[in-house]
């Protein structure tokens, strides 16, 4: 009985971990040499120059990370908010 309980709990734990890994969505988004992390996949205006990388992407030595909440992108030193109702534009991944 104890062995069955251990196997059941082990199986349940593995299933929960696998389920949480599949629902996790993350990316690194960059505009030039400035990048930030996001948990949602947004579309950005074509003129923003934003590039979306997978979460396992490794930045070069000249990349700076600046974190910010919400939908938008860095343009120089300022955060540009992108409205939710803006049209669908490209989402470039590298």
Helices of type H across the chain: 2-23
- Residues 5-32 pLDDT 10s: 544 445 545 444 444 344 456 889 999 9
3-state secondary structure of 82: coil
Tokens found for residue 8: 């059941």
Taking the complete model, does pTM exceed 0.85, yes or no? Answer: no
Of residues 14, 48, 56, 3, the one with CA closest to residue 30 = 48
The total number of residues written for the chain in this structure: 94
- What residue ranges do the domains of the chain occupy? 25-94
Of residues 88, 90, 85, 79, the one with CA closest to residue 31 = 79
- Residues 28-44 pLDDT 10s: 999 999 999 988 888 88
């Amino acid at each position: 009985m104890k062995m069955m309980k251990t196997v059941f709990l082990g199986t349940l734990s593995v299933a929960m971990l696998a389920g949480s890994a599949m629902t996790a969505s993350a990316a690194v988004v960059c505009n030039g040499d400035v990048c930030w992390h996001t948990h949602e996949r947004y579309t950005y205006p074509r003129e923003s120059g934003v590039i979306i990388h997978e979460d396992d992407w490794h930045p070069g030595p000249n990349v700076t990370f600046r974190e910010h909440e919400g939908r938008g992108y860095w343009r120089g030193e300022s955060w540009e908010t992108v409205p939710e109702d803006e049209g669908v534009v490209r989402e470039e991944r590298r």
